[in-house]
């Protein structure tokens, strides 16, 4: 048996008091999650933080109502039962996993929380044979469904169209600075800088395995170098570019990917077949970089294409000439 699972109760085995106790602890947990969202968003997205503050207050009000109902029906002592004590019960995402979620994803996460809670109460009400308990659970389901209406009302109150647009622009800018810009720089470096050593080795040796090893070493080495350089260049505190770890990861991974793109074809044993495929991959890589620059960095497409393709072509030609000589 897996440790920990044997202590879990099945939902169908819970008493009416335990179901109510589970509802109380769930409401308390959700209020804490909303307050955590609010605190983490307050500096950059103050209007959305106010929405989550209001939703946390709604959860507090429902928790107090549930405690009053429990006291009236079962007394002062509330059994200790939480989500993790019930087999198959819906779980909440740990709050530390939300640090990397975008603003829209956090909003969607909150909506999912409300839907999960509503489904729980509806299921509990459906299996209850006691009229008073069925009414209680039905009321709780309605309350959870009403939370979404309350959230919409709070959004209208605190998050006007202009405020939401401003927060969305801030979120988009942060996404660009933290992920797209370092990743694009890495992809460009990996795709272009490794062209010369890979194709010089290819034409000098005409040995596909040796060429692949050189390409692999150049790609991984460049990825490590770019990743550490990006992470060490700016801690993100003043520039607003976000976590250095995230930026370093984006830059390092994309640098390695850019180099491996035209190194992997040399796993093909035939030299000219491998070289032809590698050249086609380079062509696709360079145009993809130009598209990303146009799509996310708003660089005019033809200017981006001219810069990337011309630079790549020069490095490629240098590698071929050196290898052929």
pLDDT at residue 101, as a whole number: 61
Name the nearest CA neighbour of 297 among 193, 191, 184: 184
Q: Whose CA is closest to 86, among 28, 1, 21, 144?
A: 21
CA 144 – CA 128 distance, rounded (Å): 18
DSSP type of residue 237:
T
Whole-number Å distance between alpha carbons of 138 and 125: 6
> 264: closest CA among 250, 284, 247?
284
**Burial label, 250 (beta-carbon count in 10 A; 0-12, 13-18, 19+):** buried
- pLDDT score recorded for residue 5: 44
Q: Dihedral of the CA atoms 199, 203, 205, 206 (nearest 10)? A: 100
The span from the CA of 63 to the CA of 24, in Å, is 5
Residue 97's contacts (CB-CB under 8 Å, 6 or more residues apart) are none
pLDDT along the chain (325 residues), means of 10: 58 85 90 88 81 86 86 90 80 64 69 80 78 77 69 53 56 71 84 90 93 94 88 65 81 91 94 94 87 76 79 85 83
Q: What is the pLDDT of residue 238?
A: 47
pTM: 0.52
- Structure tokens belonging to residue 256: 């390695």
The contacts of residue 209 (CB under 8 Å, 6+ apart) are 266
pLDDT at 69: 82
Q: Quick one: pLDDT at residue 203?
A: 92
Phi-psi region of 242 (alpha: psi -120 to 50; beta: other; left: phi over 0): left
CB 184 within 8 A of CB 254: yes
DSSP state letter for 188: H
């Amino acid at each position: 048996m897996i440790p920990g699972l044997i202590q879990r109760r099945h939902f169908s085995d819970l008493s009416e008091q335990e179901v109510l106790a589970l509802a109380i602890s769930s409401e308390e947990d959700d209020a804490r999650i909303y307050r955590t969202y609010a605190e983490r968003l307050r500096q950059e997205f103050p209007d959305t933080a106010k929405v989550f503050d209001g939703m946390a207050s709604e959860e507090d009000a429902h928790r107090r109502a549930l405690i009053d109902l429990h006291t009236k029906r079962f007394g002062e002592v509330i059994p200790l039962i939480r989500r993790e004590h019930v087999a198959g019960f819906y779980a909440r995402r740990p709050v530390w996993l939300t640090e990397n979620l975008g603003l829209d994803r956090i909003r969607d996460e909150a909506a999912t929380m409300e839907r999960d809670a509503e489904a729980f109460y509806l299921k509990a009400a459906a299996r209850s044979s006691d009229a008073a308990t069925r009414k209680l659970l039905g009321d709780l389901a309605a309350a959870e469904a009403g939370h979404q209406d309350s959230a919409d009302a709070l959004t209208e109150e605190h998050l006007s169209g202009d405020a939401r647009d401003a927060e969305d622009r801030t979120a988009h800018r942060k996404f660009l600075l933290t992920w797209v810009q370092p990743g694009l720089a890495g992809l460009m470096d990996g795709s272009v800088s490794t062209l010369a050593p890979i194709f010089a080795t290819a034409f000098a040796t005409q040995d596909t395995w040796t060429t692949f090893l050189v390409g692999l070493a150049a790609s991984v080495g460049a990825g490590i170098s770019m990743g550490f350089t990006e992470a060490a260049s700016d801690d993100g505190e003043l520039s607003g570019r976000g976590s250095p770890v995230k930026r370093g990861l984006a830059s390092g991974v994309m640098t390695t990917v850019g180099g491996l793109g035209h190194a992997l074809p040399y796993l093909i044993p035939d030299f000219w077949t491998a070289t032809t495929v590698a050249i086609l991959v380079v062509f696709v890589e360079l145009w993809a970089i130009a598209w990303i620059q146009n799509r996310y960095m708003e660089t005019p497409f033809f200017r981006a294409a001219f810069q990337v393709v011309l630079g790549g072509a020069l490095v490629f030609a240098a590698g071929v000439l050196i290898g052929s000589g």
